[in-house]
Amino acid sequence: MPTSHAAWLPTEAWRAIGSHRTLITGTGPLVDTVADEVRAACAAHGGSVRYGDPSEAERYDLELTLGAESDRDTEGFQVARRDGRTTVRAATPHGLLHGLFHLLRLGPDAFGGDLPARSHRPATRRRMLDHWDNVDVHPVMGQVERGYAGGSLFWRDGAPRRDLARVGAYARLLAAAGINAVALNNVNVHATEARLLTDRLDEVAGLAGAFRRYGIRVHLSVTFAAPVVLGGLPTADPRDERVRAWWARTTAAVYAAVPDFGGYVVKADSEGQPGPFTYGRNHADGANLLADALAPHGGVVHWRAFVYNHRQDWRDRSTDRARAAYDHFAPLDGHFRDNVILQVKHGPIDFQAREPVSPVLTALPATAVAVELQVTQEYTGQQRHVCYLAPMWSELLRGAGGPAVAGLATAGLVAVSNAGDDPFWTGHPLAQANLYAFGRLAWDPGLDPVAILDEWIGLTFPGAPARLRQILHDIMAGSWRTYERYTAPLGVGFMVRPGQHYGPDVDGYEYTPWGTYHFADREGVGVDRTRATGTGFTGQYPSPWCRVYESLDECPDELLLFFHHVPYGHVLRNGSTVIQHIYDTHFAGAREAAEMRRLWEGAAGLVAPELYDRVRERLDEQVRSAAEWRDQINTYFFRKSGVPDAKQRRIY
Ligand code: GCV
């Protein structure tokens, strides 16, 4: 495997910590990890570290102390600086590790003027990455489903990777961003991958060891049909005693091999995966079956709510995919065991560049809920385009134009990882920022996404001239909105090439069974999801959102075509007509992509040549692709509507 890029943990970022005298008190494997980190920093930058009892003769600039905070349950820590000494105190080793990475982010400020004592703790207990890695190379989806960063860090061509050093380096990066759980394999569990649960458990145990060193627990995606495909039983019916006993036995064996195992992730009755519907049972029956097997060991089941009819007749206007999660799961609220976590995609469809918040999130007050985001850029440029997603996630979390997700994600945040065996980890070097930002927002959803970007720039390019920091900032900060401008307009979504989901294909999904339509005709465009005349989806929202989305006057422009079918001449709240807005945003978006590439030229000589070239090559593709999007979208809507561009720009 090629040597990997240091990402947000280059040696230089450790200068402040590594050039001081540190005392570490406490014991345990994670405290050893803290000590190893500080030792490495000191070896590089000339400081010193004492691990254990303080020496009478020495005075310390930094004290990292375990066991001195009252709140023993959290991964929190307390930081202060007084009289020339910085202190980090934590009740748990996990807290101490997070405290160390907090100091890293502070840099020299951790050793400057006094810092009043401040406690930090994560907003959510589980901050998890889901890998969609396959053990075997899947004939269509490859080694990593929707992976745009090379191969898997864990498997290659059906075999485990022997060298776990890269996994260890990955775990370290994740811990430094605040992540504490990883699901190792794809939620589409194929034949070989199913066996990770039983006869390939040693591979899980090996990976768990590498992650454990940084306080990260591993989870496994399992197939609901495991009792049949692995256990040889005639059924996987959740009410069958043999099935229940099989899961209990199998789960006990998992915990014998991996004592701190996190639990299972399940995609059931979804896109061809097996599930409880086969046996006439509902999803609470299915989830509770696994929850009962995990409960004696303290594990959880992440049960995905991504259940919809993917064999819909496009002629049928009464079925609305957006309604599916709510229709299936809202009636089950209160029926799940305490250790079931319902894992809900943030939007009602599928990780588009713009979607409203999934209403099922607002309908589960008695259920533990995790919200799923997608760091891998399946629909947002596949790590060929710069698209810094944290501003979108932050809007969702804070509740800009919809219910605030942060308060609804009671059991944590989960995201599909964008990392692979690519030397830059993420294919596009600048896509590292999405991985970093996900961890930071999961820790504290109130953080400013642009401040996180600057933090990432500061860590990844320590000591860089201000000019470089500015270039990166200018390219990335608004890149999600730029991407949105040149792709599908006003929240309508899914105008991508079917299957691969890259590049424009306006009617690609229009007559397919997938339930993702835009209904453009010569009069107008958009999906009528109102109660008055459409699918009634707006009625799944609580007040005020059911009113806001139902109303043409109140619906946010960005979501207009998600909720309404409107004529091209409809005037938006921003004063433009729909058709003119389509033209204007597409010309602007493609222009902004070209401007990004121009800006990047200023970074020549300021970053490593390999990184410069990789970004430049991807920006070339982004500029090409954005122009293609612009021209296909504008031409399509010009031909449908016959309305010319008021500014008479070139449309084909
Ligand atoms: C893992 C989308 C993706 C699939 C993915 C699925 C899911 O449909 O295109 O590749 O499958 O979401 O989240 O389960």
* Structure confidence by residue, pLDDT tens digits, 192-238: 999 999 999 999 999 999 999 999 999 999 999 999 999 999 999 99
Atom of ligand 1 nearest to the CA of 132: 1
**pLDDT > 80? residue 3:** no
Residue 69: pLDDT band with limits 50, 70, 90: low
428 touches 420 (CB < 8 A): no
Angle at 122 between CA 121 and CA 127, to 5 degrees: 155
Rounded Cα gap, residues 111 and 594, in angstroms: 42
State pLDDT tens for residues 281-322. Answer: 999 999 999 999 999 999 999 999 999 999 999 999 999 999
Q: Is the CB of 146 under 6 A from ligand 1?
A: yes
pLDDT at 53: 87
Mean pLDDT across 179-190: 98
**pLDDT > 70? residue 182:** yes
**Is residue 143 within a helix (H) or strand (E), and if so which, with residue range?**
strand 142-144
Mean pLDDT across 636-645: 98
Q: How far is the CA of 443 from the centre of ligand 1 (A)?
A: 25
Q: Is the CB of 350 under 6 A from ligand 1?
A: yes
Maximum alpha-carbon separation in the chain: 84
**pLDDT > 60? residue 32:** yes
Rounded Cα gap, residues 564 and 580, in angstroms: 17
pLDDT at 22: 98
Q: How far is the CA of 351 from the centre of ligand 1 (A)?
A: 9
Mean pLDDT across 370-386: 98
510 touches 632 (CB < 8 A): no
Q: Which of 72-76, 330-334, 483-487, 552-556 has the lowest mean pLDDT?
A: 72-76
pLDDT at 55: 82
257 touches 202 (CB < 8 A): yes
Of 641, 626, 630, 635, nearest in space to 526 by CA: 641
Q: Is the CB of 166 under 6 A from ligand 1?
A: no
Percent of the chain at pLDDT exceeding 90: 97
pLDDT at 557: 97
Q: Which of the 8 DSSP states describes residue 385?
A: S
- Cα four-point dihedral sign 109, 115, 117, 122: negative
Rounded Cα gap, residues 22 and 551, in angstroms: 60
Residue 638: pLDDT band with limits 50, 70, 90: very high
Q: How far is the CA of 271 from the centre of ligand 1 (A)?
A: 8
0.95 exceeded by the pTM? Answer: yes
- Other residues' Cβ atoms within 10 Å of the Cβ of residue 651: 18
Q: Is the CB of 187 under 6 A from ligand 1?
A: yes
Q: Which residues are catalytic?
A: 271, 350, 378
Mean pLDDT across 74-81: 95
Ligand 1 atom 8, closest CA = 350
Q: How far is the CA of 30 from the centre of ligand 1 (A)?
A: 35
pLDDT at 72: 64
Residue 71: pLDDT band with limits 50, 70, 90: low
pLDDT at 338: 98
Rg (C-alpha) for the chain, rounded Å, is 25
Rounded Cα gap, residues 130 and 376, in angstroms: 10
Q: Is the CB of 185 under 6 A from ligand 1?
A: no
Q: Is the CB of 379 under 6 A from ligand 1?
A: no
How high does pLDDT run on average in the chain? 97
Mean pLDDT across 353-379: 98
Q: How far is the CA of 350 from the centre of ligand 1 (A)?
A: 8
**pLDDT > 50? residue 1:** no
**Substitution site in 132, 345, 379, 512 for ligand 1 pocket (most atoms within 8 Å of beta carbon):** 132
Q: Is the CB of 514 under 6 A from ligand 1?
A: no
